Amino acid sequence: MRQMRLGTGFKSRRFFLSSVGLGVFLLAVLIGFWGASTAVAAPAPKWLLEFEEKCESGSMLDCQNAAHTFAKGKYRLKEAYKDKEKVEYYIQRIVQMGEQGCADNAKLKDCHLLGVMYFEGRAINRDVVKGMEIINTSCNAGYDVSCDWLHDRFVR
């Protein structure tokens, strides 16, 4: 009698485990197909497209945000999407905007940001002397934030 109970229980457990196993397998297959299709076919998020559009229209901060996003590559599900070419493009664009802002004194904020990027080594190779010169140029042109920045670092 004891063997009968063990045998019957064993069959029911085996059926239960095989049913659960089959269910888990099917669920894993469905999730795998869903995950693969979203990782490949997912469009870029709206906020990233806005960064790119505003960068092209002249916003240096949005260029920095786009470069950072493509460098980190964390905006897609289950995939680290990094694009070194776009990072380099946006960094060149940032430098171009900053230098233009310093040259014509029209966008002193961009000039200041470029100086800070050089000083701190953000996305650009660190060059403290060049960063200080750019920030000093921005201060001399009348951008108070640059003057305050220099004052906070005991330069002025």
Residue spans of the domains in the chain: they are 1-41, 46-152
pLDDT for residue 153: 82
Please give the Cα distance from 51 to 62 (Å, whole number): 5
Query: What tens digit of pLDDT does each residue of 66-93 get?
Result: 888 888 876 655 555 778 899 899 999 9
26 — pLDDT class (breaks 50, 70, 90): low
Q: Residue with structure tokens 């680290």? A: 80
Instruction: Decide if pLDDT at 4 tops 60.
Output: no
Instruction: Decide if pLDDT at 102 tops 60.
Output: yes
pLDDT for residue 17: 45
Classify domain 46-152 by CATH number. Answer: 1.25.40
* Contact (CB, 8 A) for 152 and 146: no
Q: Is residue 75 classed exposed, middle or buried when 0-12, 13-18 and 19+ CB atoms within 10 A define those classes?
A: middle
Provide the mean pLDDT of the chain.
Answer: 77
- What's the average model confidence in pLDDT over 132-150? 92
Please give the Cα distance from 85 to 20 (Å, whole number): 47
CB atoms near residue 115 (< 10 Å) = 26
Half-sphere exposure (Cβ direction) of 24: Cα atoms closer than 13 Å: 6
* Contact (CB, 8 A) for 90 and 67: yes
- Which of 1-10, 59-68, 69-78 has the least mean pLDDT? 1-10
Residue 2, strand partner residues: none
- What's the average model confidence in pLDDT over 118-124? 86
